[in-house]
Every structure is written in C-alpha cells, then in structure tokens.
C-alpha cells in the first residue's frame, strides 16, 4: 500500500474523530487520522476541570438540541453511554458519578486520551498531528492536500468540531468544507456560555435556582460574575436563548415566597426585610433585592410584588461571552443533509460529518462527549 493512500481519512483527532478512527480501524479499514494541533484531544484534557466528564448516565435524545430532534436517536441507541463506560472499565479507569448522572475520572482526563490512543494504536490507526489541511478535492476519491503532502481516501470524515474555544484551536474548517461540498448549515452560535448583563455588583455570589425560557427549565447553580451571570443553570439555558429573549429565574425553587414573607411579617414584624431574606438567600443578594424597611412597615401588595420577583426574576441578557467562553457550538452542518444511521452526506458519497460539527448539541454534563462517541462510532461502522 502506498503510505499516502487510505480507505478513510478522518480530519480532527478530538473525541468524535478518535472514536470514528478506532471503530473503522477495528473493522480492518486503513485509517489516517489528521489533526492540525501538535497533540490530540485538547478539549478532552480540559473538560471537567481536568477530570473529563466523559458521559452521562441519563443520556437520552431529549437532552440534545437540533433542528431535527429525532436525528440523534439512531446513533445514541447504537452506541450508548453504557458502551463507553464498558470501554473505560476495560482500561481500569476509576470513575465516579458527581451529580445529575455526570461521570468523571477519579484521576485525570489524560487517562481517557491515553485509552483512546491505545485503542487507536491497537486498531492500526495512522495518527499524524501537526498536519494542516490546505485543500480537499473529490473525483472518484478524496484528495487531501496538507502541509506534509497529499493523501487520498475513498471516505473523508469531518470531525474538527465547532467554533467554541478558539484558543484551543477551534476553526470553521468542518463548516466551510461541508458548505463547499453543497451541504447546508444551521446558523451556528455560542452555547453553554455565560450571559453578559448589567446586574448588581454581586460577583462571586452563587445559589441554586431554576432558570426558564419558555417550556424549558434547569434547576442548578447560578453564579454572579463581574460581567453578568454564569453557573450551570445559566449555561444550560443559554443553549436555547436567542438575542432579545427574556429569561425567568426562580431564586427560591423550594419556597412559597409569598407565604414565607407573610408568615415573617406576622412572627418577626420588627425585623428588617433584608434580614428576613437573608434566611433564604446569600446575604449580599438579599441586601440588593430588599427595599429598606421592617416587615411591619411593608404593605401586603409590596410583599406580594417582591414574592413574585423572587419566584420569577426576569432578565434580558445583553448577549453572551461568545465563542471564547462557550463550551460548545449550537448549529452547524444541517442534519437534513446527513444519514442519521451512518452520518454520511446524502448527496456526497463517502463524505461524513460527526461530533460538534453537526447540528446536534447536548446539555451540560457529559452529553456532548456522548454524542461524540456515538456519532463517531456509527460513522466508523459505515466508512
């Protein structure tokens, strides 16, 4: 075999690309895995605070956003979170569940990368880093021109991710390549990203809330920052948010605020309102929300209005902190142009797209890794 001719070229050695290359190699395919970075799996290494939130026990289609909410079902069913957990267990990597089904390595994210590299080596994958792709053409085969020469293959897999975290090397390569081959894009935008917002100077204050947008709601922590709002609840709802929309935040998810305030007016009439609110909220937040006055001096309608605000604090973000702080990208290669079973482009035989490059985006907490494993595996089965 010419060392420059392969059955499959996978562009991008992140989570999805690694999984695709591994599965294709296991099936006896001659696989070339290319990455422009000098090492693989950079996003894997930084995920989960360096411990890699590698999947979620609760992974299910409902936890994914897409223009076609049914598209992800086939891949997620064919390679599940339990399949990936079994792989982790085979490599004797210790893990634990943190909250809400989120699974992390007990040790380091480096263990997951080492596992994937070992699997790739065993499957005969030819991995080449620091290879920048300059051009791609297709006649009967794909011709991939790089700064280290030209390679050819019958199949090409786009696995270079989305636009999030450009300092980690993110580019629009997959989107632009797909567009050049006639595939449509669902407009990409930052997701799992903090909001920018004029809020009281409460930087560092955190509390559990329910953040809602329409029918969607997430109960997790919210964090005030010097630029606006962050924390898991905010990151989750940001994936659904569009410019100009208003978000409702329940600051007291376990409390009937109206009944609580009325009861305190009766039992603690001399107490300051801010003191009463500090029973349930962080003190700095209580002080910023409470008008001056004792419980006895506050009218019933004022307390009712405050209770309503506590249960549905309305905010209209000015924007987000953009791709620099976004964990993932919503949108991408339109699923209408892809097979949900194989991830192959319907109108371009041999061209596949997987992972974050595709218009499928998971919730925070390991879901996006599971989409990478699942979509990569089914493409690896097909190439």
pLDDT tens per residue, range 274-285: 999 999 999 999
Cα–Cα distance between 16 and 330 in angstroms, integer? 16
Average the pLDDT over 330-359 and give the result.
98
Q: Is the pLDDT of residue 177 over 80?
A: yes
Residue 92 has pLDDT above 60, yes or no: yes
% residues pLDDT > 90 (the chain): 95
Using one digit for the tens of pLDDT, what is the confidence trace for 251-279? 999 999 999 999 999 999 999 999 999 99
Q: Which residue has the higher pLDDT, 291 or 222?
A: 222
**Given this model, what pLDDT does residue 104 score?**
98
Q: What is the predicted pLDDT for the residue at 200?
A: 73
Q: Distances from the Cα of 1 to the Cαs of 11, 112, 113, 281, in angstroms?
A: 21, 31, 29, 68
Per-residue pLDDT band for 3 (boundaries 50, 70, 90) equals confident
Q: What is the predicted pLDDT for the residue at 228?
A: 96
Whether the pLDDT of residue 147 is over 50: the answer is yes
Q: What local confidence, expressed as pLDDT, does residue 219 receive?
A: 98
Summarize the confidence of residues 90-106 as an average pLDDT.
Answer: 97
CB 32 within 8 A of CB 9: yes
Residue 50: which of 108, 102, 116, 90 has the closest Cα? 108
Residues 164, 320 contacting (CB under 8 angstroms)? no
Of the pLDDT bands very low, low, confident and very high (cuts 50, 70, 90), residue 78 is very high
**pLDDT over 70 for what percent of the chain?**
99
Q: What is the pLDDT of residues 157-176, one digit of tens each?
A: 999 999 999 998 899 999 99
Of 118-127, 295-304, 326-335, which range is least confident? 295-304
Q: Is the pLDDT of residue 2 over 60?
A: no
Confidence check: pLDDT of 1 > 60: no
Burial class, 209, CB count within 10 angstroms (exposed 0-12 / middle 13-18 / buried 19+): buried
Give this prediction's pTM: 0.95
Averaged over 352-365, what is the pLDDT? Answer: 98
Look at residue 79 in the predicted model and tell me its pLDDT: 98
Mean pLDDT of the chain: 96
Sign of CA dihedral 303, 308, 312, 314: negative
Distances in Å between the Cα of 61 and the Cα atoms of 81, 104, 168 are 12, 21, 28
Q: Which domains does the chain have, with CATH numbers?
A: 5-189+330-382 (3.50.50.60), 194-321 (2.40.30.10)
Distance CA(189)–CA(308), nearest Å, equals: 32
Average pLDDT over residues 297-318: 94
One-letter-per-residue 3-state SS of the chain: CCCCEEEEEEECCCHHHHHHHHHHHHCCCCEEEECCCCCCCHHHHHHHHHCCEEEECCCCHHHEECCCCCCCHHHHHHCCHHHHHHHHHHCCCCEEECCCCEEEECCCCHHHHHHHHHHHHHCCCEEECCCCEEEEEECCCEEEEECCEEEEEEEEEECCCCCCCHHHCCCCHHHHHHHHCCCCEEEEEEECCCEECCCCCCCCCEEEEEEEECCEEEEEEEEECCCEEECHHHHHHHCCCCCCCCEEEECCCCCCHHHHHHHHHHHCCCCEHHHHHCCCCCHHHHHHHCCCCECCCCCHHHHHHHHHHHHCEEECCCEECCCCCCCEEEEEECHHHECCCCCEECCCCCEEECHHHECCEECCCCHHHHHHHHHHHHHHHHC
């Amino acid at each position: 075999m010419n060392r420059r001719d392969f059955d499959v070229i996978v562009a991008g050695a992140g989570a999805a690309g690694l999984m695709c290359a591994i599965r294709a190699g296991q099936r006896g395919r001659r696989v070339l895995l290319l990455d422009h970075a000098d090492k693989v799996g950079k996003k894997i290494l930084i995920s989960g605070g360096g411990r890699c939130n590698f999947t979620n026990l609760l992974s299910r289609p409902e936890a994914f956003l897409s223009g076609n909410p049914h598209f992800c079902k086939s891949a997620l069913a064919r390679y599940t979170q339990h399949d990936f957990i079994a792989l982790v267990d085979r490599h004797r990597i210790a893990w634990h569940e943190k909250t809400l089904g989120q699974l992390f390595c007990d040790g380091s994210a480096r263990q997951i990368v080492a596992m994937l590299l070992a699997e790739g080596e065993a499957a005969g994958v030819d991995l080449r880093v620091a290879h920048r792709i300059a051009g791609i053409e297709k006649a009967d085969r794909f011709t991939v021109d790089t700064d280290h020469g030209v390679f050819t293959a019958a199949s090409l897999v786009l696995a270079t991710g989305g636009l999030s975290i450009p300092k980690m090397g993110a580019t629009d390569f997959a989107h632009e390549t797909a567009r050049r081959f006639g595939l449509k894009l669902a407009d990409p935008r930052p997701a799992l990203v903090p909001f920018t917002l004029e809020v009281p100077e409460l930087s560092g204050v955190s509390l559990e809330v329910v953040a809602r947008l329409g029918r969607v709601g997430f109960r997790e922590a919210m964090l005030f920052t010097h630029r606006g709002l962050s924390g898991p609840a905010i990151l989750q709802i940001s994936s659904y948010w569009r410019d100009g929309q208003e978000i409702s935040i329940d600051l007291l998810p376990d409390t009937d605020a109206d009944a609580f305030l009325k009861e305190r007016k009766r039992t603690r009439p001399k107490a300051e309102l801010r003191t009463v609110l500090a029973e349930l909220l962080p003190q700095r937040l209580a002080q910023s929300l409470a008008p001056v006055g004792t419980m006895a001096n506050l009218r019933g309608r004022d307390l009712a209005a405050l209770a309503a605000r506590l249960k549905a604090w309305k905010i209209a973000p000015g924007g987000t902190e953009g791709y620099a702080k976004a964990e993932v990208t919503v949108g991408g290669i339109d699923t209408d142009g892809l097979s949900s079973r194989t991830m192959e482009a319907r109108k371009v035989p041999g061209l596949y797209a997987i992972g974050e490059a595709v218009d499928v985006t998971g919730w925070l907490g390991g879901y996006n890794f599971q989409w990478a494993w699942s979509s990569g595996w089914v493409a690896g089965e097909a190439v």
